[in-house]
């Protein structure tokens, strides 16, 4: 066992006795539950250092422990000061502070570490050596600081060319601090430029830099295997690769599954060293939910029971990571750290909240067909408790990003300004809240339950309309934004529940997306106007023939009903005969 002990006064050194009161034993007990082992432990080395203002420049010192008496009430340590070290107390405190977040030593209420730390040799040496043992930067390394401040990544890389031969220079290859900066610059140079994702020469160039960045980061980890920073950097580079390979119109020169496997390996290494890391817990959770699970579901191969079990396990891992990121942030007492990690906190709230909301699947197609067919329909709903979890998280996200109460009127000017600087778009947050309350309203409506139904309905309209209004504001100000017809579709569905078919038609009539054309056609048919039904038939015919239409079953069923309504029985019969059995249940409800 190895110890670090904090002192406030020289008198304690002169008396050769350190007394730790019950008040200060409590934080030690929280961090080191086995602290009573001090009574019989073999202490191999101890360093004392000074705490408090004005004591930072006092040297730390080695101690010989004569005796330790530890109890729930106090800890008494008899010792001799052996020799002063060539390191100040401030330097030791900084190293301890760095490790404290990694090992969760910080007291959440006070923001301080315990006065006594019980560590293993590896951690002891890491703190003892710390920044005082960092090798002097090479002449090139001194220039890097200035270039980094100016984001001149290409010039940093040019300083060290040929980069492949850096291992021949031990002053750099054995210096993790300088090598890390080179790796960081290479990683920046390895990012694809917009518009060049298909350019072979560009892809070849940036691949070189990406591979070099991984090589340098991994070397840093070889040199300092207890530093989560380097493992985290490797994991993040793989995480970036995944995002680049799955981005619409992104590069396609890699294997997503292999990158995910590599990212897992290095996230696990980083999180084993720093289990409460907000950034790595967020990134790992998001990678699983947004990249790995879709990659498995839509791989094109038939999924076996083992695959579904693995996906369930991955979901558990992802949600645990995101909950840990949220919990770690909410337990922070340091305002500067809260500011630093705020974006990851918001994104964790949004990602986990959206996941829970998406878990509740509505039988919308069945409801729609029963409405058109005028049939009674009373489904059962499973796992609706996920909406409660999603509600709590998404409302927290809304409050953190927008800064107003749920009941306050939406301010487009405020929302537009926030959109320009927020990493999580207010449009996405408003839409997610709209979907949440739409689902809650739908369930109450179908079950014919009146408690809170109007509250859910009101919120659904408020947030969906707010998202659409904000998108319109973007267009006015020529702020680029992706296609958001899916918001109109959800609002149209809400209007269909309320029999507002004209509004639903207005919401969806301009969309070119197949599943939204289904909604448009359904709204037309629900008006019972023959001209509208003929228009629905015209809309549905081409999308029924479209093999890429993922909602083709609903398209077939709607067209079959439209044929029935306009008296084209032969066309209806031909369509039904050509369809597969997967549409039978919907046909029962609509015909």
> Which CATH number fits the domain that encloses residue 399?
1.25.40
Tell me the CB-side half-sphere exposure of residue 308, using CA atoms within 13 A: 4
Claim to verify: residue 23 and residue 140 sit in the same structural domain: no
For 346-361, give the DSSP string.
HHHHHHHHHHHHHHS-
In a domain, 330, yes or no: no
CA 236 to chain centroid: 12
Phi and psi for 31 in degrees, rounded to 5?
-80, -35
Claim to verify: residue 71 and residue 115 sit in the same structural domain: yes
Claim to verify: residue 115 and residue 188 sit in the same structural domain: no
Among residues 274, 302, 319, the one where a domain terminates is 274
In a domain, 585, yes or no: yes
Claim to verify: residue 423 and residue 403 sit in the same structural domain: yes
Q: Are 347 and 423 in contact (CB under 8 A)?
A: yes
pTM recorded for the entire structure: 0.86
- Residues 6+ positions from 55 with CB-CB distance below 8 Å: 8, 89
Cis peptide before 162 (omega within 30 of 0): yes
In a domain, 333, yes or no: no
Tell me the CB-side half-sphere exposure of residue 60, using CA atoms within 13 A: 25
Among the listed residues 225, 451, 12, the one whose alpha carbon sits nearest the alpha carbon of residue 443:
451
Claim to verify: residue 190 and residue 128 sit in the same structural domain: no
The two three-digit tokens of residue 551, written as one number: 């909602």
Decide: helix, strand or coil at residue 61: strand
Domain of 115, CATH number, reads 3.10.590
pLDDT value of position 577: 94
pLDDT value of position 27: 93
Q: Is 192 exposed, middle or buried (0-12, 13-18, 19+ CB in 10 A)?
A: buried
Claim to verify: residue 127 and residue 148 sit in the same structural domain: no
Q: Is 380 exposed, middle or buried (0-12, 13-18, 19+ CB in 10 A)?
A: exposed
Q: Rounded to an integer, what distance in angstroms lies between the CA atom of residue 15 and that of residue 425?
A: 61
In a domain, 487, yes or no: yes
Strand 45-50, strand 2-7: pairing: parallel
What number of helices (H) and strands (E) belong to the chain?
27, 6
Claim to verify: residue 144 and residue 118 sit in the same structural domain: no
The two three-digit tokens of residue 419, written as one number: 């959109």
Tokens 């079990």 locate to: 309
pLDDT value of position 135: 55
∠ CA 332-337-340 to the nearest 5 degrees? 130
Tell me the CB-side half-sphere exposure of residue 125, using CA atoms within 13 A: 7
Among the listed residues 117, 50, 110, the one whose alpha carbon sits nearest the alpha carbon of residue 85:
50
Longest dimension (CA), the chain: 104
Run of H or E including 50: strand 45-50
Q: Rounded to an integer, what distance in angstroms lies between the CA atom of residue 116 and that of residue 22?
A: 13
Claim to verify: residue 113 and residue 140 sit in the same structural domain: no
Q: Rounded to an integer, what distance in angstroms lies between the CA atom of residue 235 and that of residue 284?
A: 9
Phi and psi for 271 in degrees, rounded to 5?
-75, -20
Q: Are 489 and 512 in contact (CB under 8 A)?
A: no
Claim to verify: residue 119 and residue 160 sit in the same structural domain: no
The two three-digit tokens of residue 117, written as one number: 């730390």
- Residues 6+ positions from 364 with CB-CB distance below 8 Å: 442, 493
Among residues 112, 133, 154, the one where a domain terminates is 133
In a domain, 312, yes or no: no
- Structural domain of residue 444, as residue ranges? 360-590
Q: Rounded to an integer, what distance in angstroms lies between the CA atom of residue 496 and that of residue 504?
A: 6
Strand partners, 62: 47, 83
Q: What is the CA radius of gyration of the chain?
A: 31
**What is the count of structural domains for the chain?**
3
Q: Rounded to an integer, what distance in angstroms lies between the CA atom of residue 270 and that of residue 287?
A: 15
Claim to verify: residue 487 and residue 562 sit in the same structural domain: yes
Domain of 179, CATH number, reads 1.25.40.10
Q: Rounded to an integer, what distance in angstroms lies between the CA atom of residue 571 and that of residue 516?
A: 23
In a domain, 423, yes or no: yes
In a domain, 224, yes or no: yes
Q: What letter would DSSP give residue 130?
A: G
In a domain, 300, yes or no: no
Q: What letter would DSSP give residue 424?
A: S
Claim to verify: residue 506 and residue 368 sit in the same structural domain: yes
The two three-digit tokens of residue 240, written as one number: 């970036």
pLDDT value of position 119: 95
pLDDT value of position 145: 83
Decide: helix, strand or coil at residue 304: coil
User: Sign of the CA dihedral 298, 301, 305, 309?
Assistant: negative
pLDDT, averaged per 10 consecutive residues of the chain (591 residues), comes to 95 94 94 94 96 92 96 96 93 89 80 92 87 59 87 96 95 92 98 94 98 98 92 98 95 96 98 95 98 93 93 98 97 90 98 98 97 94 94 98 95 95 96 99 95 97 98 92 94 98 97 97 98 98 94 98 97 94 95 95
Among residues 133, 167, 194, the one where a domain terminates is 133
Claim to verify: residue 410 and residue 537 sit in the same structural domain: yes
The two three-digit tokens of residue 187, written as one number: 């990683």
């Amino acid at each position: 066992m190895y110890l670090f002990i904090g002192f406030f006064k020289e008198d304690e050194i002169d008396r050769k006795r350190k007394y730790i009161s019950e008040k200060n034993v409590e934080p030690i007990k929280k961090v080191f539950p086995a602290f009573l082992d001090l009574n019989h432990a073999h202490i191999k080395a101890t360093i004392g250092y000074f705490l408090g203002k004005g004591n930072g420049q006092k040297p730390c010192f080695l101690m010989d422990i004569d005796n330790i008496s530890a109890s729930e009430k106090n800890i008494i340590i008899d010792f001799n000061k052996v020799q002063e070290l060539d390191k100040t107390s401030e330097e030791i405190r900084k190293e301890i502070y760095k490790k404290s977040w990694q090992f969760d030593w910080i007291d959440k209420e006070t923001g301080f570490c315990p006065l006594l730390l019980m560590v293993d040799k590896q951690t002891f040496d890491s703190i003892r050596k710390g920044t005082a043992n960092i090798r002097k930067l090479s002449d090139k390394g001194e220039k890097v600081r200035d270039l980094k401040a100016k984001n001149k990544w290409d010039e940093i890389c040019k300083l060290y060319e040929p980069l492949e031969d850096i291992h021949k220079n031990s002053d750099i290859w054995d210096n993790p601090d300088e090598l890390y900066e080179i790796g960081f610059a290479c990683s920046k140079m390895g990012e694809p430029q917009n518009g060049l994702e298909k350019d072979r020469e560009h892809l070849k160039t940036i691949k070189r830099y990406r591979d070099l960045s991984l090589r340098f980061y991994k070397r840093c980890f070889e040199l300092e295997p207890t530093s989560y920073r380097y493992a985290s950097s490797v994991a993040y580079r793989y995480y970036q690769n995944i995002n680049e390979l799955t981005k619409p119109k992104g590069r396609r020169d890699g294997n997503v599954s292999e990158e995910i496997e590599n990212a897992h390996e290095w996230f696990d290494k980083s999180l084993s060293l720093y289990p409460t890391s907000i950034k790595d817990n967020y990134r790992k959770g998001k990678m699983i939910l947004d990249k790995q699970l879709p990659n498995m579901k839509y791989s094109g191969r038939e999924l076996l029971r083992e695959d579904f079990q693995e996906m369930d396990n991955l979901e558990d891992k992802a949600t645990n990571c995101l909950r840990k990121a949220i919990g770690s942030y909410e337990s922070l007492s340091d305002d500067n750290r809260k500011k630093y990690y705020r974006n990851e906190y918001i994104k964790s709230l949004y990602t986990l909240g959206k996941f829970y909301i998406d878990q509740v699947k509505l039988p919308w197609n069945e409801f729609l067909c029963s409405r058109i067919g005028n049939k009674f329909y009373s489904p059962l709903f499973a796992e609706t408790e996920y909406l409660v979890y999603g509600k709590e998280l998404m409302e927290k996200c809304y409050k953190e990003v927008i800064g107003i109460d749920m009941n306050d009127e939406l301010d487009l000017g405020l929302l537009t300004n926030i959109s320009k600087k927020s990493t999580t778009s207010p449009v996405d947050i408003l839409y997610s809240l709209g979907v949440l309350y739409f689902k809650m309203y739908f369930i109450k409506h179908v079950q014919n339950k009146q408690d809170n139904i109007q509250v859910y309905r009101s919120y659904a309209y408020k947030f969906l309309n707010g998202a659409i209004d904000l998108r319109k504001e973007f267009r006015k100000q020529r702020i680029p934004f992706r296609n958001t017809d899916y918001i109109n579709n959800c609002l149209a569905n809400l209007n269909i529940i309320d029999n507002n078919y004209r509004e639903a038609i207005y919401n969806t009539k301009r969309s070119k997306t197949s599943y939204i054309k289904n909604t448009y056609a359904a709204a037309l048919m629900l008006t019972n106007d023959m001209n509208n039904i003929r228009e629905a038939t015209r809309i549905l015919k081409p999308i029924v023939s479209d093999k890429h239409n993922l909602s083709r079953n609903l398209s077939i069923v709607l067209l079959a009903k439209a044929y029935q309504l306009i008296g084209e029985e032969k066309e209806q019969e031909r369509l039904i005969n050509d369809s597969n059995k997967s549409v039978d249940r919907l046909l029962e409800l609509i015909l």
